[in-house]
Structure 1
Amino acid sequence: MKKLLLILILIWGGGAAGLWYWTELNAQHVTFRTILVRRGDLLATINATGTLEPQEVVDVGAQIAGEIQSFGPDPRDSSKSISYGTPVEQGTVLARLNDSLLKARTNQASASLDRAKADVEQAEVKLRQADRDLERVKNLFARRSISSQEYDTALTEYEAAKANVSLTKSSVEISKANLEEANVNLGYTTISSPVKGVILDRRVNIGQTVIASLNAPSLFLIAKDLSQMEIWASVNETDVGAIHVGQGVRFTVGAFPRDSFRGKVSQIRLNASMSQSVVTYTVVVDVDNTSGKLLPYLTARVQFEVEERKHVMLVPNASLRWQPKIQNVVPESRELFATLLRQSAIAPKGSGHAPKGESSSPERGTLWVKHNEFVRPVSVEIGLTDGIQTEISGGDLDEGAEIVIGQNQQNDPQDGATPFLPQLKNNKAKK
C-alpha cells in the first residue's frame, strides 16, 4: 500500500508539474511600451485649406468694338509685346484696335465744325447788313419818308438775322461736341493700363474682333500689387468661433513644401456657404510677399494659431486613450478600474464633455504607470492639445516619469503544443 500510495503521489506531482509547465509555456507574456513624460511648448491650431489671391485685381476691357491690331511693347524689352507676367505701369499701352473707321468719323466731325463756324461768320455778316439797313429805315421813318410797313419789314429782317446768328453758334457747339465724342472714341482704340501691376492673363490675340455690348469684354487681368497677397481659407462653422482678426497664421504651399510662411487674419466674411450640409466661412489672411516667392492661386495649407503653452508637461494622446486589461492592473486598483469601465459603458456618448462656451470643471484623464509586472492608474487634469500631444497637470507624475502607451503580447513559439511530445528545433512548417 505504501508503495502504491507513493507511486500515486509521484504521478499526481508529475502531472501537476507538467500542467504548470504547459500553462506557463502557452501563457501570453505582456511587455509594455512606455514613454517618458517631458516638458515642452505646445501650440493648438485649427487646420484649413485656402487659395492665395492678389489683394486687388483689375479687369481691363474695351469700351468700343474693333479688331485687335497690335499689342503694346514690353517695358522691359521693346522688341517683345505685352504678354503674361509682364510688369506694367499706369498708362502703359496694352493693345491697339483698328482705328480707320473712327478716324474717318473724327475727320467728318471736324469738317462739320468748320462748316458750322463758316455759317456763323456768314450769319454775322448778314446781321451787320440788317443792322445798317435798319438804321437807314429809322432815319427815313423819322422824317416820314417811308411807311410804317417798310419800317416793320426792316426791323423783322434785323431780328431774323440776329436769331440766325444764335442758331449757327449753337450748331458750332453741337459740332464741337460731336468732334469731342469722335476723338474720345478714337482714344478708346488705344487700351492702356489703369494701374501699376503685373499682367496675370491676356485673353485676346491679334486679329481677334472685340464686340462691346452691355458688359465690356475682358482683355487683360492685372494684379495691382503682388508684394501683398491674401489667402481665402474655408473654415468649418465649428472652428470659426476660435478665429479672430489679428490672429497669427502659419501656412505652407505645395510648390515649396519645406518652407513655412506667416500671415495674419484680416477679415472673417459673413456670407457663409453650404455644401452637402457642411457650412463654411471664408477667412481672409494677409500675407507679406515682398520676396515674390509666392504665386497667385497656389493652394495653401493653413494653421490658425489658437492658443500656446510654454514649458508644460506633455504626453502623447495615445497614452490617454490606452486602457489595459483588468488582469494587468495592480490588484489594489482592479475593483476601481472595473467600476469605471462599467460607468463608461452605460454613460451616454459624449456626456463627459461640456459644451463650448459653458463653464465646467477641468476635464480629467487617466495615465498608466508601469509597476513591476502590472500597471498603476494615475488621474491627471487634461489641458490644451494639438492633436498629437496633450498638456497635463496634477497627479503624482513628474518630468521623466515612465508612462505606458501600449503593450505587446508574446506567445511561446511552440504555439501551445504539449510539452511531453518531441518537438522540432526549427518548425518551418508552422503558419
Structure 2
Amino acid sequence: MIQFIRRRPYLITSVVVLVVLVALGLRSLASPKPPQYLSASVERSDLENTVLATGTLQAFQQVDVGAQVSGQLKSLKVKLGDKVTKGQWLAQIDPVLAQNALRQAEADEQNLQAQKRSTAAQLKQAELAFARQRQMLPDDATSRQDFESAQATLDTQRAALAGLDAQIRKAGVAIESARANVGYTRIVAPIDGQVVAIVTQEGQTVIAQQQAPVILKLADMDTITVKAQVSEADVIRISPGQTAYFTILGDPDKRYYGKLRAIEPAPQNFLDTQSTLGGGATRNNTAVFYNALFDVPNADHRLRISMTAQVNVLLGTAKQALSVPVAALGKKIGPDRYEVRVLDKDAKDGRAVTRQIVTGLNNNVRVEVREGLSAHERVVIGEAGDTPPAQTDASSGAAR
C-alpha cells in the first residue's frame, strides 16, 4: 500500500502526458485551417488613363512696355493691377529734349528752303546770261570763253539746286523722326490688358540708346496659358487636340479643362544647352522635358501668373466601368486577357477559384474589367498569412 501511494504521482504524470499526446494527434487529424487572403471588391467607377505633368501658368499675351527715347520718367498714369485698353496713356517721358530736337529740325529745314529760293534766283540769272551768250556766239559778238563760262555757271547753279532739294528731303526725314520721338515720350498701351508689373518708377531716368528700357508689363489675363513640362518618356504619347486639365495648389478639387494647342519640338532651355555644349560636346545625363501648351478661360482672373499647375493629359476614359486593382491581375494569357483569383462564397474551405477576364483601360492603379467578373465580387490581391482577411474600400480598392 505504501509503494502504491509512492507511485501515484508518477501515474498521474503519465496520464497527463498521454492526454496531451492524444489531443495533439486529434488536432493533426482535424481539417486544415482555411487560407487567408487580402481581397478587393469589384466596383463601378470612372477611370482615367492620363499623362501626369507639372506646369506653370502664364498670361496668354504679355508685353513689356518700354521707352524708345531717353529722359526722365515724368509721370505714371496707372497703378499696379489696373486694367487698361489699347491706346490708353500709361506714362510720360520728359518731352523737352525731344521737342527741342523737333524745333531744331524744323529750323534746319526752313534754312534749306531759304537757300533753295536764293539758289533758284541765281539759277534764273545764270539761265538768262547763258541765253544771251548763246545768241551772241554765232555773230562772234562774244568769245567762246565767255560762252563756256556762262554754261558752267548755269550747270553749277542747277547742281546746287538739286543738292538743296536732297538736303531738304533729308531735313524732312529728320523732322519726321523728331516728331516721332516727341510722340514716343507719351507711352500708350499696345494691347488690352492688366498692369502686372511696374519696373521703372516716376523720377527715374531711362537711357534708350542701346535697348528699350522696360517701364511696365501688361498681360491679357482673360485667358491663361498652361505650360506643362512633359517628360521625354511621355511626350510621344500626347498630341495637339487632346483634352487636358489641371488643378492648382490652393483649390485641388476644381479642375480647369482645355485642349492641347501645341507641343514644343525642342526641350526646355534648348538654346542654353546648345550654346553650352559647343561643337562636338555631349550633354549631361539629365532629365529632358518638353513644353505642352493649352489655354483656359480666366474671366474672373482667379488664376494668376506663375501659379503651379498639376496637369493631366487624358489618353482614355471609361465611365462607370467595372474595375479591380491592378494587383489583382495574375498570369497574362493573351492580349488584354488575364487570370484572377475570385473568392467563392459557396466554397466551404474558403479557397479562391481562378477565372479568366478581359481587361480594358489600365491606369496602373485600377484596370477596367470588360468580361469575366460581376459587381461586388471579391478578387484576391495578396496573401494574408495568419492575419484576418483584409477588406478593401469600394472606391479606391485600398486594403482596410
Unpaired stretches in structure 2, ≥5 consecutive residues = 269-282, 389-400
Q: Are positions 1:15 and 2:11 aligned together?
A: no
Q: Are positions 1:96 and 2:92 aligned together?
A: yes
CA distance in 2, matches of 1:60, 1:250: 32
CA distance in 2, matches of 1:276, 1:319: 37
- 1:248 alignment partner in structure 2: 243
Q: Give the secondary-structure state (helix, strand or coil) at the position aligned to 1:278.
A: coil
Match of 1:295 among 286, 297, 304: 304
- 2:191 alignment partner in structure 1: 195
Match of 2:374, as an amino acid?
D
**TM, length-normalised to structure 2:** 0.76
Q: Percent identity?
A: 26
CA displacement 1:209-238 (0-9 Å, x = unmatched): 222244332333222x33332211111222
Query: Structure 1 residues 281 and 138 mapped into 2: Cα distance closer, same or farther (>3 Å)?
Result: closer
- 1:385 alignment partner in structure 2: 362
- Across the aligned residues of Structure 1 and Structure 2, the Cα RMSD in angstroms comes to 3.7
CA distance in 2, matches of 1:127, 1:239: 81
CA displacement 1:17-55 (0-9 Å, x = unmatched): 6668999xxx99986565432234322222211112223
Q: Give the secondary-structure state (helix, strand or coil) at the position aligned to 2:352.
A: strand
- 2:338 alignment partner in structure 1: 364
Moved more, 8-17 or 57-66: 8-17
- 2:275 alignment partner in structure 1: none
CA distance in 2, matches of 1:140, 1:410: 136
Q: Are positions 1:131 and 2:127 aligned together?
A: yes
Q: Give the secondary-structure state (helix, strand or coil) at the position aligned to 1:246.
A: coil
Q: Give the secondary-structure state (helix, strand or coil) at the position aligned to 1:374.
A: coil
Query: Structure 1 residues 150 and 385 mapped into 2: Cα distance closer, same or farther (>3 Å)?
Result: closer
For these two proteins, the number of residue pairs brought into alignment is: 361
Match of 1:282 among 283, 288, 291: 291
- 1:172 alignment partner in structure 2: 168
Q: Are positions 1:51 and 2:94 aligned together?
A: no
Query: Structure 1 residues 252 and 140 mapped into 2: Cα distance closer, same or farther (>3 Å)?
Result: same
What displacement does 1:252 show? 0.8
Match of 1:364, as an amino acid?
Y
CA displacement 1:297-351 (0-9 Å, x = unmatched): 2111111111123443212345458xxxxxxxxxxxxxxxxxxxxxxxxxxxxxx
CA distance in 2, matches of 1:242, 1:184: 52
What displacement does 1:253 show? 0.9
Q: Give the secondary-structure state (helix, strand or coil) at the position aligned to 2:161.
A: helix
Query: Structure 1 residues 365 and 272 mapped into 2: Cα distance closer, same or farther (>3 Å)?
Result: farther
Query: Structure 1 residues 300 and 286 mapped into 2: Cα distance closer, same or farther (>3 Å)?
Result: same
Match of 2:323 among 303, 314, 328: 314
Query: Structure 1 residues 29 and 401 mapped into 2: Cα distance closer, same or farther (>3 Å)?
Result: closer
Match of 1:167, as an amino acid?
G
**TM, length-normalised to structure 1:** 0.71
Q: Give the secondary-structure state (helix, strand or coil) at the position aligned to 1:55.
A: strand
What displacement does 1:117 show? 0.8
CA distance in 2, matches of 1:160, 1:319: 104
Q: What does residue range 17-416 of structure 1 map to in structure 2 within 5 Å?
A: 34-71=39-76, 81-138=77-134, 144-223=140-219, 225-273=220-268, 277-320=286-329, 361-362=335-336, 364-369=338-343, 371-381=347-357, 382-395=359-372, 397-405=373-381, 407=384, 409=386
CA distance in 2, matches of 1:245, 1:353: 33
Instruction: State whether residues 28 and 409 of structure 1, in contact with CA within 8 Å, keep that contact through their aligned partners in structure 2.
Output: no
